[in-house]
Amino acid sequence: MKKLFYTLAAVGFVIVTANSARSQEDVVDIHKQIETLGNTKPIPVALSGFTGEGAEVLKFDLTVQGFSFVAPDAAQYLISGSDAGVVTGSLTDKFAKRVLLSRSYNGASLRRQAHAFADDIVFAITGKKGIGQTKIAYKSQPAGYGVGEIYVSDFDGANAQRITKDNAIVAKPAWAPGKLALYYTSYALDNPDIFYHSLTTGQRSKIAAYSGLNTSAAVSPDGSKIAMVLSKSGSANIWVCNADGSNLKQISHGDEDSSPTWSPDGSWICFATKHSERRRLAKVPAGGGTVQYLNTTGAPNPTEPDWSPDGKWIAFTSQMHDFNLCVMPVDGTNTPAVLVEGQNPSWSPNSRTLVFNRSMGYRQVLSVLDVFTKQYKDCARATGSSSQPAWAK
């Protein structure tokens, strides 16, 4: 196969993906693999020639997308190349004896080049787009408690940038779909208000600043609406408004409603609530209507739901003695699977990987989890006590 060369712009580069056409014999193992929550066998790959930052990135990206690193004789796919100055690499299907990918990358940092190579590997093997070049937002508290700031970074915690300078309590960042913009809650004006913040201009505006609680903004998939938690009617309930804060409407009337999340088609909002003295997950039509309760048997005290972009799954936090990360099918065909300890899950665009936070001593750390294999990696480059991550879609 002829080696291809790609130049990456420093920001916003586009990778042309590999041709994934393969014979039926080549793809039997992958396409017949049944993905079950927490019990799927990872795809075995072997890595050679990478010794520095490139190896670190490749191992992180591929582990949290369902791959495991093994010796060459146990691998189905062989990844070889170099991260000496620039990333060059090739991918070989050992069973089919076919080179699937051979490329060199330049024009950006070595780390970005390695993310691009990882994305190409994922697409060449699975036919699905990788997540190596995606972003997350989160709150970070340097002291481990109290005031904090909103940050944006690569999905693995690298290249973190502070977005706010409020020196105040902040919470619940949420991305505006398809935009470099965030919604979040800040006590900058001595009240928990929701702000809209453009990351390109740095300008921000108040979206909800009613007396009492204004928090947990969740943007509809088309970006036109926002669901949020307000206490302006006396208790914490779910409200929906236009993206600029206008046309406000209350759509839930329960006790202690929290954590709204939209279905991918924008027709439903899932949220946590208290019903008959128990914490429950529920959903309601986005325009208002009858509330339907979800079955989370085996995962008590559910909260912080997040609906997967493909519409199939809801991730949430369950609390008994510890906080646990759970995932359930939206159609209720199976009970929730308890995956790992942690809380505040947020789906990646690939609908199989979650970012969340978990306790490590006195602080919270961000971690990234492949929900089908239960493999996860900590985002070691995200400093401070970091929590409430939100993945850009």
Q: What does the domain layout of the chain look like in residue ranges?
A: 4-126, 135-391
Torsion angle of the four alpha carbons 65, 66, 68, 73, in this order, in degrees rounded to the nearest 10 = -120
**195-245 residue pLDDT tens:** 999 999 999 999 999 999 999 999 999 999 999 999 999 999 999 999 999
pLDDT in tens, 270-283: 999 998 888 999 99
- The yes-or-no verdict on residue 11 having pLDDT over 50 is no
**Which among 39, 390, 15, 18 has a CA at the least distance from the CA of 219?**
390
Residue 8's pLDDT is: 56
Q: How confident is the model at residue 142 (pLDDT cuts 50, 70, 90)?
A: confident
Q: Percent of the chain, pLDDT > 70?
A: 91
**Res. 262: pLDDT tops 90:** yes
More confident site: 7 or 224: 224
Question: In this model, does residue 6 exceed pLDDT 90?
Answer: no
Whole-number pLDDT of residue 24: 34
Calpha distance 231→220 (Å, rounded):
21
pLDDT computed for residue 99 by the predictor: 98
Structure token pair of residue 158: 């690298």
Measured CA to CA, the distance from residue 49 to residue 155 in angstroms comes to 25
Residue 168 pLDDT? 96
Average pLDDT score over the chain: 90
Instruction: Note the pLDDT of residue 264.
Output: 98
Q: Is the pLDDT assigned to residue 28 strictly greater than 70?
A: no
Q: What is the pLDDT of residue 200?
A: 95
29 pLDDT tier (thresholds 50, 70, 90): very low
Q: Is the pLDDT of residue 14 over 80?
A: no
What are the Cα distances from residue 8, in Å, to 3, 15, 110?
A: 16, 8, 10
Joined tokens for residue 118: 């990882």
For 90, the token pair is 């090739």
Residues pairing with 360 in the sheet: 363
Closest CA to 148 of 388, 352, 348: 388
What whole-number distance in Å separates Cα of residue 331 and Cα of residue 259? Answer: 20
CA dihedral (202, 211, 219, 384) in degrees, to 10, reads 60
Residue 32: its pLDDT value, please? 43
- Pairing verdict, β 214-219 and 323-329: unpaired
Architecture of domain 135-391: 6 Propeller (2.120)
Q: Is the pLDDT of residue 172 over 80?
A: yes
| 112: pLDDT strictly greater than 70 | yes
pLDDT value at residue 34: 53
Q: What is the pLDDT of residues 354-389, one digit of tens each?
A: 999 999 988 999 999 999 999 999 998 877 899 999
Residue 381 confidence (pLDDT): 80
d(CA 101, CA 110): 19
Q: Tell which wins on pLDDT, 30 or 226.
A: 226
4-126: CATH topology is: Double Stranded RNA Binding Domain (3.30.160)
Residue 38 is predicted with a pLDDT of 75
What is the phi/psi pair of residue 111, to 5°? -65, -45
Lowest mean per-residue pLDDT among 10-19, 58-67, 127-136, 159-168: 10-19
- Beta-carbon contacts of 35 under 8 Å, excluding residues fewer than 6 positions away, are 352, 372
Q: pLDDT-based confidence at 39, cuts 50/70/90?
A: confident
Helix 53-63 × helix 110-126 angle, to 10°: 40
pLDDT in tens, 286-323: 999 999 999 999 999 999 999 999 999 999 999 988 99
CA angle 233–292–268, rounded 5-degree value? 80
Token look-up 């700031």 returns: 149
Inter-residue contact 345 to 370 (CB < 8 Å) = no
145 band by pLDDT with thresholds 50, 70 and 90: confident
